[in-house]
Every structure is written in structure tokens, then in C-alpha cells.
Structure 1
């Protein structure tokens, strides 16, 4: 090698007379603000001109692929330059050539035939080639300058080689500086991007805002950007995208489907610079030729992906993959936090909504149970449903079992109200179907159902929800909701109105039972009066008939006895008249209406004392005005108790005590009669019809009745009922 070097150094040719000043002047053209490509083109052009080479080209090491690619080419035809640029050389190729066998100073001279390893055969080059390494810091090979000599006989002066090497060292340093400057600029831009994104995300917990700001920053950095999140259904949905990619929003990808689905499954970033050649990894944007997808990770789990794309191939490098991964790492936490915050807000809203609903339900329950008068309570309930829950229209129907019709009891809302008392047969319409089936029905657009009646009053109805009111397996009525909007009612609305229907079912059933109890009480009172008439007045009338017949018979045979018969007839008729007046007094005591409870009981007690010969004492504690609205049932309770004493107790003395307070009214009836064994009553404890009647009256008033009796001592009846407070006008 030394002989070859000495021979090369001693050979003289025209190139040995090159002006070294021209070569040194090349250094002044190397500027840090040039790109590596333009900088190396200037070097190649100068070397080609000064050295007289037919071809000078420079290959530079690609930082991503590590392959050597032609970036500058001077002195050849355009098609040959294109061929060189197309040819990529592996690092191992140069490692096989840059060896001591070919070394000249720091360069390497390849004789014809050897350089075919680096030159494409199509170039058909005959001259030797001088390979000048471009080395960066730490002697790392970052490129190679290839200088082709004109003919096989031409050699190059060693001094010229030294000058060329000096220039290439400057060029290599300039390339390194340019790359370092570019890297620094990219790092600075990356830091600025991440810092700006951090500021954007640190000021909000609103997830849509976080997603929008993220894709905006990605769009600024990459010219493209979309974000997909993993949903509860196990699919990935594109939630946000830059303006020109809005068509992607709403697209769904299954796990494993396309590039997004693969990244979500594998949890690793993926770069494709030619998506056409990778059909199994279709990008999110079907028109993209290059694409990067990186996972969004939170707690070690994939929650979504960040996606960028470009319309041309080879658009991205792994450095941009790193940047997108850094963005993903920065936004994953805020996205998760925003999701948790949104869930917490939703839960809080749900709790508040439930609390509001419970308040309305409690109000409905109070209104429904506050009165047995449905004409007053049910319209108030209907208004509370409509106003409390905000439904457009609420109708309440009850079933008339005698006519098999649904009767409109109340209607409230902004739609046209049906006429009061509107009736509809159970075999007609959607509400009729709900009543027959006994189950809730919900219609997104009721007018499309063939059973929809299409009443003129409700032409605006679109969505409809019908919930039956059921008690003891019987449909008592219906709650009907109408809305002019389609799909206005949800499953939650159905469950809510079903709860209302359950509340009303008890109230409506109680009203039915109350009316039946009233009818039974009337029937019992009639039966009692019938017994009284039979036991007293009827017997006396029958006695009067017999006496009048006897008087008529005595009129011819013994006229002296007629006067006695007539006197007895007069006494019997007077007794019958008194008994009849007593019964009439029991039915409607005028003193109760005109003078109050105490006066009516005093008159009744005096009448019984005279008629039955029993001492009845009445004691009053407190102001009887506190028993307002309770007079009639309390009077009936005392009346029934006294009747039981007279019929069954054989008592000589009865004491009645009335106690009036601001909270309750007490009635105590005590006798000194024979008493009885409660357990021996035919229908059980307190099971006598009279006792049952008193107990039912007390319960209807919200109170209670206790019965105590001892054989040979007497009986005590104690009734306690809450005082009825008058309602204040609003």
C-alpha cells in the first residue's frame, strides 16, 4: 500500500497543478442555514468543476433507516442522476470498501471494476473512483463523497486529496451542524407544542374541550389529526378530528380492525409510509398513503388512539412517531380525568334528579292520600305529575266497570285538553289496549300505530306513554303522557310513571273500599232500623191492631169494657209514636246540626233514660269546637255504644266522657252491666257487628278503638281520634 501511495503521490498529470486556493475557497460556501442536500450539492458541484471529474455524487446516511441515499449528484445526465437517487446502499457495502487496501490518506481509491459495488451497472463508468468519507463527531460515518476520475489512467495528486479531505471534513461538520440545528429546532418545537398543549389541558375538565384542543395541536404539528376512544361496547369511535377530516367523526372500529384496531389490541404505536402495500392495516382515513397511530394509555390500559395521516407515501419518520407518542402520554391523563369528572357529574346529576323525583313522588303521595274525594285529589295529582316532571301533557283515566269505559278524570299540560268527562270504550285506542293488556306501552310515534284514534283534540301527539294503574290484579285506571316530539319518553320515564301508578293504585283502591264500606254501613243501618222497627214499633202496631179488634168485639157484647180497650189503644199508640220519633231522632238528630255534638248527646241520653229507665251521665272536658268536622261519626259511635249497653248489658248506670284537646278527641263509655268474655264472641275479638261498626268509624277518622269488659263488672269502650285541622287558604 505504501508503494501504491508513493506511486500515486509521485505521478504527475494536469490535475497535480490544481490551484489549491480554489479548493480552499469552497469552505466559505458552507453555511449552517443550508439544508444538508443543498450544502452537499454545492460541495459536489465545486469538486466536479475544480477536479475535472465527469461525475461527483454524495450519499448521506438516513437517520431513520440507516441506509445511504444519494442526496447530491453533479456531472451526469438527469436519467443517470435519477438512477443514483433510486439506488440505496446498505452500510455493510461501504464497510467492505473502506479498508486499508484502498486507502489514500483518509480517502479510498477504487480501481475500475471494484467500484461496481457502489455504482449502478447502468452508469458504465471506466475511471477510478475516489471515496471520501464524511465523518461526524466521534468518527461516525454519516456519508460518502464519490469522485469518478475521467479515465482508467488518471490518478489524483496526494496534495489534492488532502485538500479535498479538508473540504469534506468541513462539509461533514456543516452537515452535522445543520442536522443538529434541525434536531434542536424540532426538539424546541416539540417542547413548545407539549408545553402549549399542557397549558391548554390544565385549565379545563371538559372532555369535549380537551379533545378539541388536542386535535387542533396535532393538526398544527402534522397537518392532520383525529382521536378515537374505546367505548363501553368494546369498539373504537372517532370522537374528534381536525376540520378537513370531520368526515371521520363517528366512524367505529372493532378491536383488531384496521390500523386503529390493531394498535388498540397491541398497545404499541404503528407507522406505515405506504398503506397501499399493507391492506391488513387500513388507516383511519381511507385516502391516506402514510399514517401513524399511537395508543392512548391510562393505568396500563388502552383507552383510545391518536391518528395522523398524509396523502403521499413516506411522509413520516420515527421522530414524528416519538412526538405523537409524547402527545398521547400528555393527553391520556387529562382525558381520563375528564371522563371521571364527567361520570361524577353525571352521577351527581342523577342523584339530584332522583332526589327531585322523590320529592315530587312524596308530594303526589301526600296529595293522593290526603283525601278520599277523587274529584279534588286526582286533578291535583295530575297537575303535580305534569309540573313536577315537566311532561308536555298528562291525562288520568279511571275505569267505569259498569259501562266498560275509560273516563277522563283530569288533564293537565300544554296540549289541547280533552273535554271533561271524555269517555272511551276499553276496546278502542291505544289506552284501551294498555287497559286490556294490563301493561305499560311506549310509542316513539303513536300515530303510526293502527290503534291510534287520531282524535282532533290531539293531532299534535307524536310520542305517547301509557301506564296502567293496577291493584289486586285489576286495572283501575291509566296515566297517559303525550308529547309533540318523537322518542320523547325513555325507559326511565316508564319506570317513574309506573311508580306513580303504584302510589295511585292504593289510593284509588281505598276509595273503592271506602265507598263499599259506606254502602255496607248504610245497609247495616237499614237492617238495624228494620230490627228496631220490628222489635218495637211493629210489635206495638200489631198490639194496637189486636186491641182495636177486641174493642170492636166488646162494643156489642160488653160496651162497658170498650173504654178500657180504647185507653190501652191510646197508650200503645203513644208508645209507638215515641219509639218512631226516637228512631227518626237517631237517623237525623236536629240538635247535632243546630246545637252541636254535646247538646245532641245530652238529648239522646235523656230520651234513652226516660224510655229505658237507665241513668246516663255525660261529662265534657275541653272545648267541643275542637271536634269540628268530627261530630257526625262521634255521635254515631256513642249512639251505637249506648244501644249495645241497652240491648246486652242489663246495666243501671252508664257514664259518657268527652275529652277535647288540640291534638285529639277522646270518647269513653263505661257501664256497670254484666260484661262479657271478648274471646267468646262468635266472630272473634271485638267481632260483634255493633263493635265492628264503631271500630270502622274510628279507623276511618284515623283513630282507634279499644274494648275492655269483665264478667259481672261491666264494659268500657275507649275511642281516640286525631283532631281534624281546618285547611288554610293559600
Structure 2
């Protein structure tokens, strides 16, 4: 209630009340001065009181009405500013304000329009730079392949290789316990099965990175559907997919988006322990909207110390920003992870 009284509309009305108060004081002082100094017959205390009372009542109603009406236009124009700034914050730099008036507020609106145009030009410049970088990326493909192989080799050594070594050790221990203590042997074999399943999941995630960086000539919707169909066959994940078939993007943008989603699915396979994944791509007001969600174990985004997960998230964020987009991630332990990406087109 008190917060609303501090709004621009009520501030405007209060200024009218203040002017009414000052005018009333001046009129009352003037009439009383005439009454005391000259004591005219036509001016009495009753007439002064009646006049001031009538004036205050009428002026109070008029001040309230005029203040409310005159502040309405200003409030509406300020609300336009708020909506425009919100649009800019969401990456919609094509929004504009148009005022018929020629005053300070209209001048601020024009300046915001210029700011939006500059931000839109900056996004286009970033996308042109991304297109220019595509040629450089293709020429550096061989070096990238070598680096990727080295990274996969490290990951294989750090994860799958150690897990398989542990499976081997537990299997040998189980063989020794089969005749002596079948119960212990059964528990160890269950651990062997769990470790083997984990190693298999880790291997599938690593194999996902061996897919070609490019879409091999396929449109983005087709390439993503092929990727998800492959994962359906090789994992236990249940996918809910909504992809707009009419999505058409520049080649470089498609490759970046494909790699972002590929990295996200790889992280889900390796770390989320999820059984359901939702992937949604759609066009909204000249921007590409990407939503990826899982029902896995989740994590603390700010406190996560898993270097591999952090590296993947950092890569996805950098790719999104290279296209002039925004990257948002929300995660709650025990409830899953949600990624929203908006890319201007």
C-alpha cells in the first residue's frame, strides 16, 4: 500500500495538493489582511470562512481529478520504457518506442531506440564474426581432432579405464569367494554389474563426442533427431522432444547450436543419473529458444567443483554468447537441471 503511494501518479497528485494548500494559505492571508485593515461591510468572517471552505472543497476535487488524469499519460509512457528495457534484457533488440510528443520523455525514448539499434547491430556483428570464424575453424579442424583425441584419451584413462580395472579386481575377488562364501560373492558380483553399467554409460557419453562437429549437410532439426534416436537405442533415457521443423539458421549458427545440445546431452549421460530428458527448440519473436531439462540428481551451480561438468557448462555458455545469445541454467539437488538458451536470429 505505502509502496503504491510512492508511485509517479500519486507523486503527481501530491504536488497538486501542495499547490492547493499554498494557494489557500495565500488567499486566506489576503482576505484576513483586508478585513483587519479596512473592515469593509461586504467582507465578514462568515463570508471568508464560506469562501475558503467552498474553494478548498472544489479545488480538492479538481486537483485530484486533474492530477490523476494528467499523470496517466506520463505513467503509461514510463511503462513503455519498462517494457522496452525488459525486451532488451531478454535479447529482443528489435523493439522500439514511438511518441508523438516532442519533449524530454520522447527524447529519452529516441535514445533508447538508438541503444536498441546499436545492440542489434552488435549482435549482427557477433554473428558475422562467428561466420568468419567458421572458415578458420575448418582450417584448424585437424588440430582440433588431435586435441579431442587427447582429451578423450585422458577421459578414458581417468574414468572408463579405472572403472574397468575396478571391475576386474572385484570379479577376481568374487571368483575366490564363490566356494567359500557365496553371499559375499553375490554382493561383489552386484557391484561388478553396477560398475560395468557405469562404465558403459561413460563410454556412450564419450562416443557421443566422436560424432562429427558438422551436421554433414543435414538441417539442424534433422541432425538433432538423428542424434537423439541414436541415444535412445544406446541408453535407457526416455526423451521428450519438441523441435520446430521450420527452423532455418545460418550454417555456423546451426553447428554451434548442435554442439551446445550435444555437450548438454553428454553431461546428462555422464553425471545426471537421470531417466528422462526433455529437449525443445522453437522460434519466438525472431529468436531461437532452446530448453533442455532432466530429472537427474542436480547440483549446486555456484558451488559445483566437478571440473568436467564445469568445463562443459562453460563451453555451452561461451558458444551461446558468441552468437549474441543468453545462457541460463537452474539446478536443484534431487530435482534435476534446466537449461534455457535464447539466440537472436
Normalized against structure 2, the TM-score is what?
0.43
Identify which of structures 1 and 2 has the higher relative contact order when contacts are C-alpha pairs closer than 8 Å and 6+ apart: 2
Larger Rg: 1
Calculate the TM-score normalised by the size of structure 1. 0.22
Structure having the higher helix fraction is 2
